[in-house]
A = this chain, B = another copy of it.
Amino acid sequence: MGALDECHYNVELENGVNLGNCVEPETMVIEDAVRVLLQGLGEDINREGLRKTPLRVAKALREGTKGYNQNVKDIVSGALFPEAGLESKVGHAGGAGGLVIVRDLDFFSYCESCLLPFQVKCHVGYIPSGQRVVGLSKLSRVADVFAKRLQDPNRLADEICASLQQSIRPTGVAVVLQCSHIHFPDFRSAIFDPNHQRWVKTSFKSGSGVFDDEKADSWTDFFSLLKFRGLNAEFATSGGLVCKSWEMGSSDPAMLGAVSSIICSLGEDPSRIELLETPARFLNWLMNFKNCKLDMKLNGFVRNGNFGSSVEEQHICSEVNLPFWSQCEHHLLPFHGVVHIGYYGSNRVINPVGKSLLQSLVHFYGFKLQVQERLTRQIAESVSSVLGEDVMVVVEANHTCMISRGIEKFGSSTATIAVLGRFSTDPTARAKFLQVIPEMS
């Protein structure tokens, strides 16, 4: 792929930074590796939706690990301000001496155990000394330098803490991270465990100076002012995130090598002990989304068995909040959410077999490389072969690609609608179904 072709040029502009006309060799190595992965998933790498995926993935990974090239000293120097205080006396009143806390900073980081992004809500506190304070935004910028690397959350907390201690030289620094990591939804757990957690939240902390002692009074002050006031926050001391407990399957050597070469291109050493199993864990996740040629031969099965009734008796029925997982084919990043299905049926409540069939349909179309628009349409078409031609499907999802890659829209979510039959011509029917959809949690 030529360095000057249109595709490279566009994506550089798209990220707001023109890196010149030359694509870096690391980016091209990642592109090649992503092509190996796509082929391993049984995909056609020349299909329109996938053609630029290797470049998109490479850019996203390099953007998400740009912290390797950033220097905390450059950030903090020039942002230390003299601020008088009462430091020499017993009390201290703000400025030098008083606790300063910046709360609820949203970041994401790539997990070094599985290469999937995890979300971080970060709280940083420090007690100034030497009669100087640091610009508040610098606490956020410094945390971001370490978040934008392949990370383990314990190390992330320690690195933010140590680098602030070293660059500001305060009386103490406290860092609390609340991390949300994807819980591995293999077919089994996703399909058979209705209470399967989608995210596992774990908290981590690190302290230096007067926060060195876990039982220090300064920690009590700090916790009192975090948003989980009154909660007994429990902190993990080891073990890291949930992916460390994932079971490993066997993986294709070429794909394992491709993931290793990606890790290399980010400037990491794949033989570092924490990274040894990363390619296998990542592939274990990725292979859930292998292109499956299996046709679902459902036509008429449930319709005749359970849902048939005369037109006169029919009214709008719904199944809401069917969970799904999928993988965005543009960025090879997870998206997940819920599917709501509306249809015309008789008065009866849908039976458990019918409900689990709908859930299976949702998983069938979720577990592949997808875009949300297509997922919605495919579920609608497939459901219509089971439940009749009048079908409405709403998919609500959170996209990992909307919180990473420089977009960082942490609260955003996406809804897509597909309508068939009566739902496409009757706004009242649509409104009636939309009303029963609960707010997304």
Contacts and interface: CB of A to CB of B under 8 A. Distances in A.
A253 interface: no
A401 B135 CA distance: 10
Interface in A382-441: 391, 393-396, 399, 401-402, 405, 407-421, 423-425, 427, 430-431, 434-435, 437, 439-440
B394 A330 contact: no
Contacts of A419: 91-93, 98
A10 B141 CA distance: 14
A371 interface: yes
A97 to B, nearest CB: 8
B418 A93 contact: yes
A74 interface: yes
A132 to B, nearest CB: 10
Interface stretch (A99-107, A149-157, A177-185, A284-292): A99-107
Given A102-B412, A377-B93, A418-B98, A83 B220 contact: no
A376 interface: yes
Most chain B beta-carbon neighbours within 10 Å: one of A11, A103, A437, A440 = A103
A345 interface: no
Interface stretch (A25-33, A161-169, A224-232, A259-267): A224-232
B374 A330 contact: no
A136 B224 contact: no
A314 interface: no
B409 A95 contact: no
A interface majority secondary structure: mixed
A93 B133 contact: no
Interface residues of A, number: 100
Contacts of A377: 83-86, 93-95, 98
A34 to B, nearest CB: 17
Nearest to A66: B16
Contact of A75 (B14, B49, B371): B14
A439 B229 contact: yes
A373 B133 contact: yes
Nearest to A434: B224
A309 interface: no
Interface of A: 6-7, 10-11, 13-14, 16-17, 48-49, 52, 70, 74-75, 77-79, 81-86, 90-95, 97-106, 128, 133, 135-137, 140-141, 217, 220-221, 224-225, 227, 229, 330, 371-381, 391, 393-396, 399, 401-402, 405, 407-421, 423-425, 427, 430-431, 434-435, 437, 439-440
12 contacts: A13-B75, A14-B74, A83-B377, A94-B393, A98-B419, A99-B415, A100-B415, A106-B412, A140-B407, A224-B431, A225-B396, A227-B439
